[in-house]
Structure 1
Amino acid sequence: MDITKALKDLKAEPGFKENVGMVLVHNGVVRGWSRNDRQDVAAIEITPDRDKMEEIRKEIEQREGIWRVVCHANDGRMEPGDDVLFLIVAGDIRENVKSALSDLLDRIKAEAVSKREIFA
């Protein structure tokens, strides 16, 4: 996903100027170490459940003050530094957008994306 293009496209949509006062972006990347024990990671295998991601995206987009939610997960084998997950939440005010992004991220990671670490 080209994040610059995605933001440009959002800003060009009808209703953006009338409904958006904040856009938050999450760009998850592959870490070089395991969260569990800090062991060196050579790569990870990512498997997103795109249907579940879309279900979660739609739920979050229905929240008060949220105008648009965009989700994109890469899949397959990736190495440290590679992009894994992009999330964009656009909405009216900070309080609505921050909590929506936080919940979106937590739910996508817990419910819609699985990963397997490959150790160095």
Structure 2
Amino acid sequence: MPNIQEMIERLKATVDPAKVGMFACHNGVVRATSRDGKPARALDIDCDRDAWERVLRDVRSRPGIAAVEAHLNTGRREVGDDVLLVVVAGDIRENVFPVLEETVNRLKAEAVKKKEWLANS
């Protein structure tokens, strides 16, 4: 299971440094509450790998983007556990930040499947 720093180091070793002025990262964790504020204890996470790869292919083709890497920890995840890690390498923040946000949103909407376990369930 990689962490954000390992993902950044791997990208630094492989991307063209002339095309990279920044790395933007997302490290999603299991929250202790649901979106509507109910106490939560865990998530069961799975992934549609075809959708995952389709999203990554698309965002990697954006202007100014040198690389996009993502990792999903599947299975049962407890409060505080890492879930979704995303690193976007690119030229300038005006190109990189929107791609980071789009990547996270699309992976969660199109590829990540989750079941939330509330504290009283």
Identity among equivalent pairs (%): 47
Distance in 1, matches of 2:83 and 2:15, equals: 29
Distance in 1, matches of 2:101 and 2:19, equals: 20
Q: TM-score normalized by structure 1?
A: 0.94
Contact 2:29 2:79 in 1 (8 A): yes
For residue 97 of structure 1, what is the amino acid of its counterpart? V
Structure 2 unaligned segments of length 5 or more: list them. Answer: none
Considering only aligned residues, what root-mean-square deviation do their CA atoms show, in Å?
Answer: 1.0
Contact 1:28 1:84 in 2 (8 A): yes
Contact 1:72 1:86 in 2 (8 A): yes
In the alignment, what sits opposite 1:48? 47
Distance in 2, matches of 1:7 and 1:78, equals: 23
Contact 2:3 2:85 in 1 (8 A): no
Distance in 2, matches of 1:84 and 1:50, equals: 15
Distance in 2, matches of 1:8 and 1:49, equals: 27
Count of residue pairs brought into register by the alignment: 118
1:37-91: CA deviations, max 9, x gaps? 2111111111111221111011000000000000111111111000000001000
